[in-house]
Amino acid sequence: MRIQILQSLLLFSLLAGLPFAWILRDGLGSDAQESQGWQAIWRTFMNFFIGPTLMLLGGIYALLRRRQNARNGHS
C-alpha cells in the first residue's frame, strides 16, 4: 500500500509539479527574468523545492522496494 502511494506521489510530482515549476521558474509578467542552461535547470528544481522533493520521494521509494524484495527473497 505504501509503495502505491509513493508511486502516485512520484508520478504526480513528475507529471504535474515539474512542468509547473518549469513554467514558473523565471517568473511571470513584466518583471520576468530569462534563464538558460544549468541555471534554468537549477531554478526549476528549486522552484517549490520540486527537485529535493523528487529526490526524497525517489529515495524512500527505493528503500521500500529494497525492503520488500528482501522480505520476498529476491536479490
Q: Which residue has the cell 522480505?
A: 71
pLDDT attached to residue 4: 92
Kindly list the domain boundaries of the chain, sorted by start residue: 2-71
pLDDT of 75 = 62
- Beta-carbon contacts of 24 under 8 Å, excluding residues fewer than 6 positions away, are 47
Per-residue pLDDT of the chain (75 residues; tens, 9 = 90+): 788 999 999 999 999 999 999 999 888 888 888 899 999 999 999 998 999 999 999 999 999 999 999 988 876
Q: What's the pLDDT score for residue 31?
A: 84
Q: What share of the chain is helix, strand, coil (3-state, %, to 5)?
A: 75, 0, 25
